[in-house]
Amino acid sequence: MVHADATNFSPNLTKPEAYQQLLDEVEGLCYEQRNWVCNLSNTSSLLWHLYRSLPSPSSSVNWAGFYVHDHTSPPTKPRLILGPFQGKVACQTINFGRGVCGTAAATQTTQLVPDVEQFPGHIACDSSSKSEIVVPIMVEGKGVVGIIDIDCTVENGFDHIDKEYLEKLADFLAKSSDWP
Ligand code: SME
């Protein structure tokens, strides 16, 4: 199998099956590779193609990627910085506590937002994004090293299945990569 074949998700898979395939492929790609840029770049590609293969609303995902803890930010005012992603150009930095991403980072909890208009302080990088899920990536002793952010152009784009599997993905990435 060549590397690009990993991005082929059969349209007949259920969402849990597609996520399981993604987890297996991420595990394969991270084998003997611990560089966070490399691992998050390939993972964004896999996420993008996974959502493309699924029925609506998942097929309406318009942004899939990562922000990482910016260690040039002062410890008293921590900030996220844009990491590898697929989709349109996005905000470069987000303070912990701001928007959906900053809230996930500050509270260390997944934010499942059915309607971004209802989320106080939501940062609109793209006005076509209507729902969002953000999952913190946490490493023991380091705290939040980054977040997974997925946006969708329709409301209610994500459910408990997305939460369950993206949290598994966050756990795996936390362990399998060396973080800045
Ligand atoms: N909407 C996010 C900002 C990041 S973009 O969606 C890529 C937020 O409110 O944190």
Question: Rounded to an integer, what distance in angstroms lies between the CA atom of residue 108 and that of residue 106?
Answer: 6
Q: Tell me, what's the pLDDT at 129?
A: 94
Q: Which of 122, 127, 128, 153 to mutate to test the pocket of ligand 1 (most atoms within 8 A of CB)?
A: 122
- Cβ atoms of residues 48 and 56 within 8 Å: no
Instruction: State residue 143's pLDDT score.
Output: 95
Amino acid at 167: E
Which residues on neighbouring strands pair with residue 150, listed in sequence order?
Answer: 64, 133
Residue 91's pLDDT is what?
A: 95
Residue of 113, 130, 132, 144 with the most ligand 1 atoms within 8 Å of its CB, for mutation: 132
pLDDT at 177: 97
The reported pLDDT for the residue numbered 180 is 83
CA distance 172 to 116: 27
CA 139 to centroid of ligand 1, rounded, Å: 22
C-beta neighbour count of 131 within 10 angstroms: 24
Query: In this structure, are residues 157 and 126 in contact, taking their beta carbons and an 8 Å threshold?
Result: no
Helix axes 160-176, 15-29, angle to 10 degrees: 10
Are 25 and 50 within 8 A, CB to CB? Answer: no
Give, for all 180 residues of the chain, the pLDDT tens digit: 677 777 788 888 999 999 999 999 999 999 999 999 999 999 999 999 999 999 999 999 999 999 999 999 999 999 999 999 999 999 999 999 999 999 999 999 999 999 999 998 899 888 999 999 999 999 999 999 999 999 999 999 999 999 999 999 999 999 999 998
Distance (Å) from CA 31 to ligand 1 centroid = 30
pLDDT at residue 62 in the model: 98
What pLDDT is attached to residue 134? Answer: 98
pTM of the model: 0.96
Residue 147: Cβ-neighbour burial (10 angstroms; 0-12, 13-18, 19+): buried
